Each structure stands twice: as C-alpha cells, then as structure tokens.
Amino acid sequence: MSAERKSAAPDHEPQNPYTRPGFIASAGVIAVIIALIPVLILTSGGDDSSDDKASGTQNSSQAVASPSVSASEQQEETQSSCPVLKDITTDTASINELAPIGLSWKKFGPINLPASKDAGPAVIDGQVARCYAHTPRGALLALTNISIRSANGPDWREVVAQQVYPNEAQEVFEQGVAASRVDQTSDFPSSTPTLAGYKLISYTPDTAVIDLAFDTPGGMVLTMVLTARWHEGDWKQQMSPNGGQSESVVKRFNADGYTPFPAG
C-alpha cells in the first residue's frame, strides 16, 4: 500500500454514507466498513474454577459423573495453549517497523488481514485468530484482526465470545452486530475498505491504544481509536462502556503521524 496520502480535508466536507448519524451510530457500519462497529474498544478474559465430580452407587457399583467444565475454564485452557512468540520487543518505536516480524497478509473472506509468524496470531481456530505477542506490534495485530473478525464471517459470535470482554458492553456489541446483519445476504460486505495506516497513541504492558486508518471505497478514510487489553495471556479488544463509537472520525487521511501498512 502506498505511503502517499492526501492531506487533511477542510473542516466541512460533503455528507457521505459514512458520516450520516444513523450509519455511524448503528452497528450497520460493520457491514460496510469491515466491521469497525461503533463499539470498537474492548477487553476479555476468563477466571479459574475447579471441576465438579459427582459419584453414586448403583447395583453395588460406583458411577462417577464426567467433570463439569465451565466456559471460563475452557477459555483459560485456550489461553494457556498459546505458543511462545519471538517478538519480545516492548520499545514503542518498534511498532513502526513490521518487516522484522515477518508480516504477511491472510485472506479472511474478501478481506486482507495482517499476520506475523513472530507476533501473531499464532493460532487460528475456525474464525478465531488468537495468541499475540505481548508487545506493541502484537497489540496492533490483535486489534486489526479482532475488530474485523468480531463482526464479519459466519462465526463472528465465536470471536465475540472469546475475544471481547464479557460485560454489558459485550452484549451491546453483539446485539448491534446481529442487528446490522439481519438484512445482509452475505457474511461479508460487498465492498470493503483496506487498512491504510496506524498510529500508536499509548502503550503499557496492560493496555495499548492505537488509531487505525482505513481507505474506504468512496475515497474517504475512516480512522478509529481502538484499545487492546492484556488479559489471561492474550490481547483482547476492550469495548467502550455504552457500546458506542469511541473517538472515531471520518476524515481524509493525513499521513503525518501515521505509519502506512506495507502493501498486502
């Protein structure tokens, strides 16, 4: 993808489908702009619980019930199965250099998503792409994948269940995606923007805030500030409390301060 971008647009731009209030405020935005739904700031996780066993005696023999495995136990097991990744650089400047981590592009339906052998996703199970490096670059790759996979494709609910923090905002997000897909005839939008660039807003070992920019088919650029949280051994997206769009704005792309994604 070319690093050359148009300079910032004037303060007042013509109304377009991406800026109409109903479009930005509703989950229908996902079907048109690669699932970057109004609620794109998330986290997720699981907690510990022990197996329950039941036993009884019948006909002079002891019958032992199968262990009951909770959803949180299944998620914990999933997270602990992540392999060790080579990207261990936590210097924030490293996020501007993706070539050293072996960046490639993988098809998700008609959408190209970035992946790295060193920074993740290391495990793809159906539509869920998980296991990212605990680094700025790992957080970037997590946000680009989760935000899109959580609203597109046939198994988007699995992504929401495993990679969106299970609170009220998760429920709002899921309801919004479901509503936006009611009239869709495909699991993917008919026309899709492409990842244009990104800008790291802040990073700690617990939280990464990244501004992602997307080229839209109409020639505009959508930018969205997304948050990743490190939880139970992996990066998750953290939803805004009200499930609304978080500090997102439609504007023309100004390359200043953004790092363009390599061509995919």
What is the C-alpha to C-alpha distance for residues 191 and 19, in angstroms, rounded to an integer? 17
* Interval 67-94 mean pLDDT: 70
How many whole angstroms from its chain centre is CA 64? 41
Output the CA–CA distances (angstroms, integers) from residue 227 to 6, 82, 123, 141, 143, in the order listed: 26, 21, 21, 12, 8
Question: Looking up tokens 């509703």, which residue turns up?
Answer: 26
Band the pLDDT of 251: cuts 50, 70, 90.
low
* Interval 204-213 mean pLDDT: 94
Band the pLDDT of 199: cuts 50, 70, 90.
very high
Instruction: Please state, for a pLDDT cut of 70, what percent of the chain lies above it.
Output: 63
Rg value, the chain, Cα? 20
pTM: 0.71
What is the tens place of the pLDDT at every residue in 225-243?
Answer: 898 999 889 999 987 766 5
Tell whether the model's pLDDT for residue 136 goes beyond 70: yes
